[in-house]
């Protein structure tokens, strides 16, 4: 099961990299979140899950990132940006689920 979920995460990451960054969101802060950094953190942490190299601090960041995505998604009014950041949120959620299955973080 973990192998399939890791393959799914890898696929999601490839899809995310193929998506253009939303126009007008560079340098934009929403709900105290730098939108470029939010995206970069999501990809970096998902990559860490694939490589099995996350520290406890990184693992707790996955939980905070999920909350950050939820906040910004409530106020974004651009349809493409909603799609882009929803994909990023889903990537982070899957990464956290994989860690739970592997027994690295409490549920």
Q: Which residues of 15-48 are buried (b: 16+ CB within 10 A; e: fewer)?
A: ebeeeeebeebeeeebeebebeebbebbbebbeb
Give 5-33 pLDDT, tens digit per residue. Answer: 999 999 999 999 999 999 999 999 999 99
pTM above 0.85, yes or no: yes
Q: How far apart are CA 5 and CA 1, in angstroms?
A: 6
Give 41-64 pLDDT, tens digit per residue. Answer: 999 999 999 888 777 677 788 889
Q: How far apart are CA 43 and CA 89, in angstroms?
A: 10
Give 76-107 pLDDT, tens digit per residue. Answer: 999 999 999 999 999 999 998 888 777 544 43
């Amino acid at each position: 099961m973990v192998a399939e979920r890791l393959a799914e995460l890898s696929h999601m990451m490839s899809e995310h990299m193929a998506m253009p960054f939303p126009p007008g969101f560079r340098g934009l802060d929403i709900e105290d979140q730098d939108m470029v950094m939010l995206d970069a953190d999501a990809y970096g942490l998902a990559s860490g899950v694939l490589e099995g190299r996350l520290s406890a601090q990184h693992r707790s960041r996955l939980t905070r990132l999920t909350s950050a995505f939820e906040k910004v998604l409530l106020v974004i009014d651009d349809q493409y940006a909603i799609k882009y950041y929803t994909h990023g949120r889903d990537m982070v959620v899957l990464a956290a689920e994989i860690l739970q299955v592997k027994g690295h973080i409490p549920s």
